[in-house]
C-alpha cells in the first residue's frame, strides 16, 4: 500500500525522528556486534604491528613511509585552550569549574536542552563570551590544515563548537562537527527551518539585539545534552573509520558518548596516537562490550599500536612536525595566518568605526529652544 502524501510540515518534522532512529540503531548494532564477538571469540587477538616503535618517532616514520594516506583526527576542547577558550573539565580552570555566576543547579545544565528551554539566559550569556570571531586558531588547528594540504587528512571529527577548524582552513567536507557548531543557526519551526549565517547570529548575541524568546526559536546549530547527534556523524563514521590508517586523538578526555567510542572503529592494524595532557581512552571491559570506550592500550605487554604523547596539543603537534621535517613550514603557516586574521580584524574595526561616525553625522541635531 502506498502511504498518503505528507505535507511540507510533516516531511520537515520527520528529521528529528530520523536522527533518533539512526542513534538507536547505532547502539543496538554495536551492542549486538560486541556481544556476539565476545561470546564466540570472534575478532579476538591483536592486529599486525605497523609501527617500528610505540613512540612519536615511530609514528613519524610511519607517516613518511608512504603507507599512511588516510589520517583521521579526533579532537576536543584541549586543542583550543591556547587560543584562550577554556576546556570543560580541568579542575580550577575548566569551563564547568567557573560557572558559579550563572546560578546553575549543576554545571552541565548550561548545555542541557530541557534546562535551556526553561532558562536560556545562562547559555546566551556564555555564548557572548565564547562566540567565534574573538579567538585565533592554534598550532594544532594549523597542523591539521597542513595534513589536508599534503593530502593526508581523511576527516577531522571534532567535539568543538568554536569553528576554529574552519577559520584555520578546513572546509565543510573535511569536518564532522559531532556536537554541532556556532557556524550556522536555524529557525526551529518545522514550517520555516530558515538558516542564518554566523555574522547574523553573532551580531544579535553580542549586542543582545534579539529578545530571548526569538533566540530560542532561532538557535545555533550546536548539539545540547539530550539531543541527537547529526545524522552525518553516523553515516560518515561508517565510511571513514574502516579506511583509516592512522588515528590522531588530541585534546579530549574521551568521556562523552558516542564520540568517545570512535577510537574503536578503526581496524585492528591501525595505529592510534593520543596527544593529550593525560592518558585516556583505555578499555573498560563492560563499556567495551557495549561498544563504548575504545580499548586503547599504552602500557601492557600486549600493546602494539597505541602511542601516548603527554603534552599540550600545540607542543605535541610541533614535536611531530619537527620529526616529519615540517616544523618550519608549520610555524610559517601559523605566523602568516595570524597576521592575516589581525589585518582583517583591523580593517573591519576601522570600517565599523567609519560607519558609526557617518551615521552620527547624518543624524539630525535636536534644536535648542531659544530664549524669548
Is residue 349 part of an annotated ligand binding site? no
Is residue 63 part of an annotated ligand binding site? no
Is residue 357 part of an annotated ligand binding site? no
Is residue 277 part of an annotated ligand binding site? yes
SS3 296: strand
Is residue 34 part of an annotated ligand binding site? no
C-alpha cell at 278: 593525560
254 conformational bin, left if phi > 0, alpha if psi -120 to 50, beta if neither? left
SS3 167: helix
Is residue 159 part of an annotated ligand binding site? yes
Is residue 187 part of an annotated ligand binding site? yes
Is residue 282 part of an annotated ligand binding site? no
C-alpha cell at 245: 590508517
Is residue 306 part of an annotated ligand binding site? no
Closest listed residue to residue 46, CA positions, set 267, 282, 272: 267
Is residue 217 part of an annotated ligand binding site? no
Is residue 278 part of an annotated ligand binding site? yes
List of long-range contacts for 124-129, beta carbons under 8 Å, 24+ apart: 124/205, 124/212, 124/215, 126/99, 126/102, 127/182, 127/205, 127/220, 128/205, 128/206, 128/208
Q: State how far the alpha carbon of 143 is from the alpha carbons of 146, 169, 313, in Å.
A: 5, 11, 10
3-state helix, strand, coil in the chain (%, to 5): 50, 15, 40
DSSP code, position 281: -
Is residue 158 part of an annotated ligand binding site? no
Is residue 88 part of an annotated ligand binding site? yes
Please, what is the end-to-end C-alpha distance for the chain in angstroms? 89
Active site residue 119: no
C-alpha cell at 172: 565543510
Is residue 313 part of an annotated ligand binding site? yes
> Which listed residue (179, 209, 309, 338) is catalytic?
179
Active site residues: 179
Residues contributing to the annotated binding site for Zn(2+): 187, 192
Residues contributing to the annotated binding site for NAD(+): 77-81, 87-89, 159-162, 252-253, 276-278, 313
Residues contributing to the annotated binding site: 77-81, 87-89, 159-162, 187, 192, 252-253, 276-278, 313
Amino acid at each position: 500500500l502506498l502511504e498518503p502524501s505528507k505535507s511540507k510540515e510533516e516531511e520537515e518534522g520527520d528529521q528529528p525522528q530520523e536522527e533518533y532512529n539512526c542513534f538507536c540503531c547505532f547502539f543496538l548494532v554495536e551492542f549486538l556486534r560486541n556481544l556476539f564477538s565476545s561470546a564466540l571469540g570472534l575478532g579476538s587477538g591483536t592486529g599486525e604491528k605497523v609501527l617500528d616503535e610505540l613512540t612519536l618517532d615511530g609514528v613519524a616514520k610511519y607517516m613518511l613511509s608512504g603507507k599512511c594516506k588516510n589520517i583521521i583526527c579526533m579532537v576536543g576542547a584541549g586543542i583550543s585552550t591556547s587560543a584562550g577558550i577554556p576546556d570543560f573539565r580541568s579542575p580550577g580552570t575548566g569551563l564547568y569549574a567557573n560557572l558559579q555566576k550563572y546560578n546553575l543547579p549543576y554545571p552541565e545544565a548550561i548545555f542541557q536542552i530541557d534546562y535551556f528551554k526553561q532558562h536560556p539566559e545562562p547559555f546566551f550569556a556564555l555564548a557572548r563570551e565564547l562566540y567565534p570571531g574573538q579567538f585565533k586558531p592554534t598550532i594544532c588547528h594549523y597542523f591539521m590544515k597542513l595534513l589536508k594540504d599534503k593530502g593526508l587528512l581523511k576527516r577531522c571529527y571534532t567535539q568543538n563548537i568554536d569553528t576554529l577548524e574552519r577559520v584555520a582552513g578546513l572546509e565543510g567536507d573535511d569536518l564532522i562537527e559531532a556536537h554541532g557548531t556556532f557556524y550556522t543557526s536555524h529557525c526551529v519551526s518545522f514550517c520555516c527551518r530558515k538558516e542564518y549565517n554566523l555574522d547574523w547570529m553573532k551580531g544579535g548575541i553580542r549586542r543582545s539585539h534579539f529578545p530571548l524568546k526569538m533566540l530560542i526559536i532561532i538557535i545555533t546549530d550546536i548539539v545540547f545534552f539530550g539531543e541527537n547527534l547529526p545524522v552525518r556523524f553516523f553515516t560518515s563514521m561508517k565510511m571513514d573509520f574502516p579506511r583509516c590508517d592512522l588515528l590522531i586523538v588530541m585534546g579530549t578526555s574521551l568521556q562523552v558518548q558516542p564520540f568517545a567510542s570512535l577510537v574503536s572503529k578503526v581496524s585492528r592494524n591501525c595505529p592510534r596516537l593520543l596527544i593529550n595532557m593525560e592518558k585516556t581512552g583505555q578499555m573498560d571491559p563492560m563499556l567495551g562490550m557495549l561498544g563504548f570506550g575504545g580499548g586503547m592500550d599504552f602500557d601492557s605487554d600486549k600493546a602494539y599500536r597505541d602511542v601516548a604523547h603527554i603534552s599540550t596539543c600545540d607542543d605535541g603537534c610541533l614535536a611531530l612536525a619537527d620529526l616529519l621535517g615540517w616544523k618550519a613550514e608549520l610555524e610559517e603557516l601559523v605566523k602568516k595566518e595570524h597576521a592575516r586574521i589581525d589585518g582583517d580584524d583591523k580593517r573591519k574595526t576601522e570600517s565599523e568605526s567609519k560607519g558609526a561616525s557617518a551615521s552620527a553625522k547624518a543624524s539630525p541635531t535636536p534644536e535648542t529652544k531659544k530664549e524669548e
